[in-house]
Amino acid sequence: MRSSPKVLMVSACLLATACTGQTGSDDGGGGGGGDGANTLRYLIEQLEDADELTRLEEHLADFEESSGIDVQVQQLDVDTMRTVLQTQLRADDGPDVISWGSGPGSGGALAEAGLLYDLTDAYEENGWEVYDFAKERVTYDGRVYGIPGELETVGLYYNTQVLADVGIDPPRTLDELRAACRTISEAGLVPMAFGDQEGWPGSHLLSMALSSALGSDGMQALLAGEGSWESPEVVDALTFWQEANTNGWLGESPVSIDYDTMTALYISGEAAMIPTGSWFVNDLAIGADFESGYVPFPAPDGEGVFASGLGSGPFVSANTDNPEGAIELLDFLASEEHAQWVVENLQTIPARPVDTAGLDVDPLLAQVLEEVSALSEGGGGLGYNIDVLMPEAFNDVMFDGVQAVLTGQSTPAEVAAALQAASEQ
């Protein structure tokens, strides 16, 4: 999976909610990571700052007191983690619990290599409640290996004041979006803030346009290899973004702009809309002094659906000396108490039902939570964020392909053909 630094930070936070603590039990002892018998070593992706860790430690105090397990947190940046993770999982003193991506190229690859602990029985014994579609993402060959991390959706944010000022409603169809972009451009603003220097934001453009065009079932079929990446829907989705870039609706030279600059353009009020993910709610709550709305990317002939994906979630090392302690830690991470803390403190969406009554939640996040919860429990109402589900080799082609469309190096049809070829490998 390739995600924004914010996403990675949030993912790590979700998992790090079980770090530290004193312990009382005598059994167990981490796959070696802990200094004593009552410790677990917990490897997470690098947090953004020390304050994040402090908040997590404070949150974990209750868990530490009740479990008596000392959880030692180790952080690694995601690239280093990708490089050393399998080595650490094979080591005698490796981590007991890790935070890692749930896609087939991430957790799936580790499970296939026999490096993850089978949690199928633990799910039944502990009654962990997660959305079915999320549980499927951590299920490999019929066995469940992890707790799904936070749920991410990808859609279109808009500045409510700007849209009101130029006299348009939030776009619900592609034609409405085109008209909105033209109107906003004429008003001297950038219609949609976008930056694709890193490559992965481009995959979100394709994911959201394609999810809305194909719907949940259509996306599922495409990702399962039952559909063609050279289909008109894929070409049309890429063509829309080519059109948007040609008309200047994505701002100036979006491929030169990184994700942070892209979000700054929106938060500063220079852009009226921004196509990105639900993790952006937290940035808005901190940085924006205006109200935003969040809608699914429009479909060609009507209202679209949110593209969705899962962030990193906790897995247990197959090499752990203390599976009971590790499962106890996961039990905490799967609890509603933890989910509520995540909503309130990290402003992200847990992959499980959560009662937000009485919580201090940003109104925009509350709206997103409500919609996502209704869709997730009903099933079939969400599209898919492609890059968290497909292998890295496919993602590489997709990242380059969207960049190539935006820079004019390739046509949408050529990129669609490259995607089809990559999906067959």
Partner 1 sequence: MSAAPAPTVTAVPAAPGRPGRRGRRPARLGVSAATRRQQARLGVLLVAPAVALMLVFLVFPVLNAVYYVFVDFDGLDVTPPWVGLGNFTELAQDRQVWAAAWNNLIWIVLGTVGPLVLGLTLALLLWGVRRGSTLYRIVFFLPYVLPQVAVGVVWGWIYAPTRGWLNRGLEAVGLGGLARGWLGDPDTALYAVIATAVWTATGFVFVIILSALRNVDTEQVDAAMLDGAGYLQRLRYVVLPQIRPVFLMVTALTLIGGFAVFDLVFVMTGGGPANATEVLGTYAYSNAFQLSRISYGTTLALVVTALAVPVAVWLDRLQRRAALDGGGA
Rounded distance between C-alpha atoms, residue 221 and residue 34, angstroms? 44
Cβ atoms of residues 225 and 389 within 8 Å = no
Residue number with CB closer to partner 1 (61 or 113) = 113
Least distance (Å) from partner 1 to the CB of residue 150?
23
Measured at the alpha carbon of residue 342, what is the angle toward residues 144 and 358, in degrees to the nearest 5? 125
Residue number with CB closer to partner 1 (118 or 396) = 396
Residue number with CB closer to partner 1 (145 or 306) = 145
Edge-first strand order for the sheet with 70-76 is: 70-76, 39-45, 97-100, 313-316
How would you classify residue 358: left for phi > 0, otherwise alpha for psi between -120 and 50, otherwise beta?
A: left
Cβ atoms of residues 159 and 241 within 8 Å = no
Least distance (Å) from partner 1 to the CB of residue 406?
8
| CB neighbour burial string for 325-339, b if at least 16 within 10 angstroms, e if fewer | bbbbbbbbbbbeebb
Residue number with CB closer to partner 1 (332 or 399) = 399
**Binding region for partner 1 (CB under 8 A):** 79, 82-83, 86, 90, 105, 109-110, 112-113, 115, 196-199, 251-258, 261, 392-393, 396, 400-401, 403-404, 406-407, 409-410
Least distance (Å) from partner 1 to the CB of residue 154?
21
Report residue 16: phi and psi, to 5°.
-80, 5
Residue number with CB closer to partner 1 (82 or 172) = 82
Rounded distance between C-alpha atoms, residue 166 and residue 334, angstroms? 45
State which amino acid sits at residue 119.
L
Look up tokens 């008209």; give the residue: 179
Helix segments in 152-258, DSSP class H: 160-166, 174-186, 200-223, 232-246
Residue number with CB closer to partner 1 (34 or 401) = 401
- Rounding to the nearest 10 degrees, give the CA dihedral for residues 149, 150, 155, 161: -160
Residue number with CB closer to partner 1 (104 or 293) = 104
Least distance (Å) from partner 1 to the CB of residue 4?
14
Least distance (Å) from partner 1 to the CB of residue 163?
22
Q: At what angle do helices 50-67 and 5-15 cross, to 10 degrees?
A: 20
Least distance (Å) from partner 1 to the CB of residue 391?
9
Which two three-digit tokens encode residue 255?
Answer: 């491929």
Least distance (Å) from partner 1 to the CB of residue 188?
14
Residue number with CB closer to partner 1 (247 or 256) = 256
Residue number with CB closer to partner 1 (132 or 252) = 252
Least distance (Å) from partner 1 to the CB of residue 416?
15
SS (H, E, C) 21-82: CCCCCCCCCCCECCCCCCEEEEEEECCCCHHHHHHHHHHHHHHHHHHCCEEEEEEECHHHHH
Least distance (Å) from partner 1 to the CB of residue 331?
28
